[in-house]
């Protein structure tokens, strides 16, 4: 079975996670895919395939004779889909011999256009898989799952020699909790790769350092007719906070390794206001500077308006995996070698986000991220190609051989 055929099966299973939920996993329906995958893994010869009570799927392909002392490699993908857009009742469109032009997404009125997605031109001639415009596709990250299990099937059928291969599928990655309960020790790999990237041939071993920051401002409300030198409007203090941040350092104005402050949510009235930010930077020194800038704003405004007017909380979310991956950089070099062997030039770039791999790297499992051959995640324009997924499978096989 080709990887895209597996993908078409998986995307029909509803697995959207929920950032508001306090359960583990955040949605019970993720178990539906987990149970399906365990059954499939056992059919592929992974005898110890299992799902735990937190919806993490694990399994091991034992080393072949003579390879028992090789490094144990891990392959990881996530089962949930993003809550940013509808992930239920996915009805994929499969377009054979794609002509490289705009594609109408079902009857939704949406169009997958070359103007918005110029890379579509180089997908001409492939089998293109899209949504019908009413849901996301779910190739983030069910394409990664499909590629891992297709690689396992090919290894078994071809009798390829290999060291121990550890397989893990996680819930709740899209809401930042995919690594929360991952059993690194029980997983047993020396290092791993997440299959959760975009174009085939992509290697990511550098991501943002990330934190969430919340400013709460407290005001003093009296009748506006007698408010002279008395009223303090918490909303205006909140506006002052945002005005003190550099206006050119937002997601709209940054790219590559440039960091930013991103105002995600704001609410309030005269007595109380709240600003929620995410803070990102690739370099740890610059990241710490951003955190300190927020603390300085809190200090300055409390000096201006009185202690307790502004309260800041900062919660660090994940770190740049580069720090850990560089300690065993051969895992990147092996991936680059496998990609070049297919006639593809590796696409090495920092990701302007995070993956399970970034957290797992700091949990003792160095874990760069590989492309799946998919594009435009988290919305109705998500798409992939059968051939791109085939290439991702071949890259996995090349890494295993290496």
Residue position matching structure tokens 């399970």: 356
The sheet that has 260-268: what strands, in order across it? Answer: 260-268, 272-281, 209-218, 310-318
* Closest to 399 in 3D by CA, of 195, 219, 139: 195
Backbone angle region of 372, left / alpha / beta, with phi > 0 → left and psi within -120 to 50 → alpha: alpha
Q: Cα separation of 262 and 265, whole Å?
A: 9
Q: Are strands 103-104 and 202-204 parallel, antiparallel or unpaired?
A: unpaired
The sheet that has 347-348: what strands, in order across it? Answer: 50-51, 57-61, 165-170, 73-78, 191-197, 369-371, 202-204, 347-348
Reduce the DSSP state of residue 281 to 3 states and report it: strand
Radius of gyration of the chain (CA): 24
* Closest to 138 in 3D by CA, of 240, 12, 18, 43: 12
Helix (H) or strand (E) holding 237: helix 234-243
**Sign for the pseudo-dihedral over CA of 20, 22, 25, 29:** negative
CB 210 within 8 A of CB 316: yes
Which residues are catalytically annotated?
80, 173
Q: Is 22 exposed, middle or buried (0-12, 13-18, 19+ CB in 10 A)?
A: exposed
CA distances 280 to 242, 289, 315, 358, Å, are: 16, 11, 12, 14
């Amino acid at each position: 079975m080709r990887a895209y055929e597996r993908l078409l099966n998986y995307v029909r299973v509803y697995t959207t996670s929920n950032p508001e939920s306090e359960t583990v996993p955040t949605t019970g329906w993720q178990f539906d895919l987990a149970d399906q995958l365990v059954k499939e893994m056992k059919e592929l010869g992974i005898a110890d395939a299992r799902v735990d009570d937190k919806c993490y799927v694990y399994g091991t392909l034992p080393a072949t004779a003579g390879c028992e002392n090789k490094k144990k490699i891990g392959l990881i993908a996530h089962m949930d889909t993003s809550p940013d857009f509808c992930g239920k009742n996915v009805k994929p469109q499969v377009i054979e011999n794609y002509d490289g032009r705009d594609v109408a997404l079902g009857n939704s009125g949406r169009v997958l256009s070359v103007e918005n997605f110029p890379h579509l031109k180089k997908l001409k001639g492939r089998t293109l898989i899209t949504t019908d415009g009413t849901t996301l596709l779910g190739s983030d990250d069910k394409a990664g799952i499909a590629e891992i299990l297709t690689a396992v099937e090919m290894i078994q059928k071809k009798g390829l020699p290999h060291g121990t291969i550890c397989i893990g599928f996680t819930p709740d990655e899209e809401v930042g909790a995919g690594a929360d309960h991952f059993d690194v020790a029980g997983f047993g790999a020396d290092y791993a790769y997440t299959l959760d990237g975009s174009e085939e041939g992509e290697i990511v071993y550098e991501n943002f350092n990330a934190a969430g920051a919340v400013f709460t401002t407290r005001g003093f409300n009296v009748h506006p007719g007698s408010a002279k030198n008395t009223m303090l409007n918490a909303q205006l203090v909140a506006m002052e906070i945002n005005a003190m941040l550099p206006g050119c350092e937002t997601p709209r104005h940054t790219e590559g390794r440039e960091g930013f402050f991103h105002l995600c949510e704001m609410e309030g009235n005269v007595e109380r206001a709240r600003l929620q930010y995410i803070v990102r930077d690739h370099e740890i020194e610059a990241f710490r500077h951003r955190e300190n800038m927020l603390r300085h704003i809190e200090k300055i405004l409390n000096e201006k308006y009185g202690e307790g007017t502004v309260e800041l909380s900062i919660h660090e979310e994940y770190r740049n995996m580069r720090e850990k991956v560089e300690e065993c950089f051969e895992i990147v070099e092996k991936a680059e070698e496998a990609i070049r062997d297919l006639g593809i030039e590796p696409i090495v770039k920092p990701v302007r986000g995070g993956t399970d791999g970034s957290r797992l790297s700091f949990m003792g499992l160095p874990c760069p991220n590989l492309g799946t051959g998919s594009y435009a995640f988290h919305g109705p324009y998500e798409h992939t190609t059968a051939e791109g997924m085939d290439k991702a499978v071949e890259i996995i096989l090349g890494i295993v051989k290496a």
